[in-house]
Amino acid sequence: MVQVVKYGNRTLRYEVILSARKTLQIEVYPDQCIRVKAPNGIQPELIARRVQRKGRWIVRQLDYFHQFEPRTPPRKYLGGETHLYLGRQYRLKILRSAECGVKLIRGYFQISVNGSPTPQITQSLLDHWYAEKAQIKFIEAFERCWPKFGRMGLSKPRLVIKRMKTRWGSLSTSGRLSLNVDLIRAPKECIDYVFTHELCHLKHHNHSPAFYELLEATMPDWKKRKHKLELSLI
């Protein structure tokens, strides 16, 4: 459900997601999507008033993300095109071979294809390689970030890696920590930031001042890492 409100000379379009929750939460994403998570049965007028009251903050977030436009155009998966892995750019080198696979060799993604290479085959092979690397690198990052939270007496969540459209990570109330497989393209310190951010939600299931106090205490340079994440994947 998409709604619209005016804030000054700006038109704010926001998506409303209703669920069995008690509080209303407003989020602005890097793609400049505004999403409002609200309790079932809440009046649309109440949501609109809350969005207007938060208008200054929303506009500030939108302008912040807008500075990174234009973003990288859609990938075509052709030879010579660059793709990211752990924050570094690598060019595609597509070869015909008896076996299909991907290797990272001297600044290149070497894509071996059995038969005639197509962008669809190249993308499928590269996506599979990213997913395999994400399983390894995300577990390593989890182990780096967890000790501080383990000492707080918290229960370690279960890690799930999947493709997510608008988020880098999330933590469910059932204790499932989901991470976007595309985060494997970001630098290691940015991956650690996302883990730390989500793990802070084990104590604070919101973005309250207490949440940010914990994030600051656990990772003092989180703002720098967050900014680097937003810059590194444009």
Q: Which fold has domain 82-232?
A: Zincin-like (3.30.2010)
CA–CA separation, 156 and 171 (whole Å): 11
- Residue type at position 48: A
- The arrangement of strands across the sheet holding 101-105 comes to 82-85, 88-96, 108-113, 101-105
The pLDDT assigned to 72 comes to 60
Return the pLDDT at 202: 95
For 171, left (φ over 0), alpha (ψ -120 to 50), or beta? beta
User: What tens digit of pLDDT does each residue of 22-72 get?
Assistant: 999 999 987 789 999 999 999 999 999 999 999 999 999 888 777 655 456
| pLDDT, position 5 | 94
For the chain, domain boundaries: 2-66, 82-232
What does the pLDDT read at residue 38?
94
Tokens of 4: 């619209």
> What per-residue confidence (pLDDT) applies to 151?
95
Per DSSP, what are the bridge partners of residue 103? Answer: 110
Could you read off the pLDDT tens digit of each residue along the chain, which spans 234 residues? 789 999 999 999 999 999 999 999 999 987 789 999 999 999 999 999 999 999 999 999 888 777 655 456 678 999 999 999 999 999 999 999 989 999 999 899 999 999 888 999 999 999 999 999 999 999 999 999 999 999 999 999 999 999 988 789 999 988 899 999 999 999 999 999 999 999 999 999 888 899 999 999 999 999 999 988 887 765
**What pLDDT, on the 0 to 100 scale, is given for residue 230?**
82
All residues at 6 or more sequence positions from 202 whose CB lies less than 8 Å from its CB, including other chains: 149, 154, 155, 157, 171
pLDDT at 64: 77
Measured CA to CA, the distance from residue 5 to residue 55 in angstroms comes to 9
What does the pLDDT read at residue 2? 87
Strands (E), 169-218: 169-171, 176-180
Rounded distance, CA 179 to CA 34, Å? Answer: 20
User: What is the C-alpha separation between 69 and 95, in angstroms, rounded?
Assistant: 33
Distance CA 68, CA 200 (A): 27
